[in-house]
Chain A
Amino acid sequence: MSDVERAPKFGDDVTSRQDEPVIVVDGAGVTLGDRTLWRDLQLSVWPGEFIAVLGPNGAGKSTLIKAILGLIPLSAGRITVLGEENLHGSSAVGYLPQRHAFDADTRIRGRDLVQLGLSGTRWGLPLPGLRRLWGGSRAAREEEQRVQDVIDLVGAIDYADRAIGELSGGEQQRLLIAQALVTRPRILLLDEPLDSLDLNSQQAVSALIHRVAEEFKVAVLLVAHDVNAILPYLDRVLYIARGQTVIGTPHEVMSEETLSHLYDTPIEVLHTRDGRIVVVGQPEGVAYHGHASHDHS
């Protein structure tokens, strides 16, 4: 397999575990207070798969990501990540939280932000970069090279040495993706990485994520509001609404039949000539829906 030739940078033994799912969600459900967000979720995510998590606001998309990370307890079922039920804090999982904008005064370089993905979990000195003063070690140089590699990969070389507070949303997002990738994870969990970006950046970042998934066999779960920027790259779609979940190919899930059944109300799915999908008739409106907190669970 030619893919594997390029793959060894990510995941040490990619080939041996190609045939096992990296995430297995088995009958899982989450209840916050007295409200069940979703339940009976069955999902297996395979290496290199690119899956979008869609649904109205408040449906529990971010909660699913956090449950996979082990940050939120399940009320039912179980989630196995890389064969383990409690993999909290693993470097094999890259994570990008929701609406993540840095203060304009944050005086730390993008390169340092990426570096923190490697060194931020280690106790004790040296501080990032201090080793260079002592002549440098091979491990330090390898680490620097790794940071440089992901910065090149996400195309952030032009601004990686500027303070992150000065950068645009798209530039910050690329550096955050680089940070999530620097540990060479086998799973990438991205919570609305495209939302604050302009259309061009949305397409560029989507293509980048697709490339990472395909070349390095990284499984990607991406929470999104609008499916169109990622539509050409998606393997599957997980749609969460009204406490229920549907999983399938984009065309299976984004159909009038499936969505009407899910919402229990007639939904129209329009296909534009350039291949975009427009969903009309969701109870909360078309794109940016209001409050799902008084929905029908």
Chain B
Amino acid sequence: MIIHNSFVLLLQPSWNPLETLRLLFAYHFMKNAFLAGTLIALVAGPVGYFMVLRGQSFLGHTLSRVGFAGAAGAVLFGISPVVGLLVFGSCAALGIGVLGEREGRMSVENDIAIGTVLVFSLSLGLLFIRLASSYAANVYSFLFGTILGISDHDVWVTALTASIALAILAVIARPLLFVSIDPDVAAARGVPVRLISYIFMLLLAISVAVAVQVVGVLLIFALLVTPAATAQQLTARPTLGVGLSVGLAVLVVWLGLSIAYFSGFPIGFAVTSIAFGLYLGSRAWRGWCGARLRRTNVSRVSGEE
């Protein structure tokens, strides 16, 4: 069963939470959507946290556009779009790494390398769409997400990819944090800065490839950047930050799916709106804390005089 983006029949949520849950999981495709969405959030949360910490949001954005070309190409050649996403994303990550590298480390040249790969992959996507014009619906679903059409097979692919990505991240987590904060000292202490940067770019490509399934390439920030940025507004503790980032990503997916299910809004819109709302809230909260801190400082100083 494949249903794209909209529901023919809208269900009414019940006041009884159990009944609402029963309605939510009444269809097999919703079970798959929740399963895949949760797996994706589990990866997007921590990977997004490091991406935001490293200031590589533009790279993540570009890899999603590259994923668009990969998915369109996969459709054209009749292979699984997820495979196209993974292959294209990984190649682009390596290409950006090589082009943007100077004297063994990432440089300003990086942004230009990323931008060049970005436009080239968009144009490739355009070419693939033109060649495969009969698949317009598929392309649309990659722009805005296709999670309601996720098959059991896709869930397994997502689960496998997510486990691998999380395992790799767990292995490099602490050196990655060191390299992200303090590359010079990390290099002096013998941490392989370059290797870790490449591994992280590959992880980012993988996360983008799986996350595209929920929100599509155009709305990827909702899962990869916004929960992580919100978490970093709320805490400066790395462990808590990663945890919050994961929690928020899962929350955003669950709420987004539920709201879309009962209201008929597109899932991408529901997920993005919730993420946006949470981010605004965190900014406001931090602004309020900062103002309060300044007030107490002022009163402390004036009290001393």
Chain A residues within 8 Å of B, Cβ to Cβ:
69, 71, 88-91, 93, 95-97, 100, 102-103, 106-109, 112-113, 116-117, 119-125, 127-130, 133, 162-163, 176, 179-180
Q: In the complex the two chains form, is B171's CB within 8 Å of A124's CB?
A: yes
Q: In the complex the two chains form, is B239's CB within 8 Å of A129's CB?
A: yes
Question: Is residue B9 contacting chain A, with contact meaning CB distance below 8 A?
Answer: no
Stretch at the interface among B116-124, B188-196, B251-259: B188-196
Stretch at the interface among B83-91, B179-187, B212-220: B179-187
Q: In the complex the two chains form, is A120's CB within 8 Å of B188's CB?
A: no
Q: In the complex the two chains form, is A108's CB within 8 Å of B185's CB?
A: no
Instruction: Report Cα–Cα, A42/B190, bound state, in Å.
Output: 26
Q: In the complex the two chains form, is B184's CB within 8 Å of A130's CB?
A: no
Q: In the complex the two chains form, is B53's CB within 8 Å of A108's CB?
A: yes
Q: Mark B235-255, 1 if CB is under 8 A from A, else 0.
A: 111111110000000000000
Interface size class on chain B is 20 to 34
Which residues does chain A contribute within 8 Å of B240, judged by CB atoms?
129
Question: Is residue B278 contacting chain A, with contact meaning CB distance below 8 A?
Answer: no
Residue of B nearest to A120 (CB): B178
Question: Is residue B175 contacting chain A, with contact meaning CB distance below 8 A?
Answer: yes
Q: In the complex the two chains form, is B174's CB within 8 Å of A119's CB?
A: yes
**Interface class of chain B by DSSP:** helix
Q: In the complex the two chains form, is B239's CB within 8 Å of A128's CB?
A: yes
Q: In the complex the two chains form, is B238's CB within 8 Å of A120's CB?
A: no
Q: In the complex the two chains form, is A120's CB within 8 Å of B187's CB?
A: no
**Interface class of chain A by DSSP:** loop
Instruction: Report Cα–Cα, A119/B172, bound state, in Å.
Output: 11
Q: In the complex the two chains form, is B191's CB within 8 Å of A121's CB?
A: yes
Our pick among A69, A93, A120 for the contact of B175 (Cβ within 8 Å) is A120
Ranked 7 nearest A-B pairs via Cβ: A89-B190, A120-B178, A97-B184, A129-B239, A163-B236, A107-B232, A95-B188
Interface centre among A102, A106, A127, A179 (most CB of B within 10 A): A127
Instruction: Report Cα–Cα, A118/B241, bound state, in Å.
Output: 20
CB-defined A-B contacts under 8 Å, sample of 17: A91-B189, A95-B184, A95-B188, A97-B188, A108-B53, A108-B181, A112-B236, A120-B177, A121-B178, A121-B189, A121-B191, A123-B172, A123-B175, A127-B173, A127-B174, A127-B177, A163-B236
Which residues does chain B contribute within 8 Å of A88, judged by CB atoms?
190
Instruction: Report Cα–Cα, A162/B235, bound state, in Å.
Output: 10
Instruction: Report Cα–Cα, A156/B228, bound state, in Å.
Output: 28
Question: Is residue B55 contacting chain A, with contact meaning CB distance below 8 A?
Answer: yes
Instruction: Report Cα–Cα, A89/B188, bound state, in Å.
Output: 6
Our pick among A117, A127, A179 for the contact of B239 (Cβ within 8 Å) is A127
Which residues does chain A contribute within 8 Å of B191, judged by CB atoms?
89, 120-121
Given contacts A103-B55, A107-B53, contact A124 B170 (CB under 8 A): yes
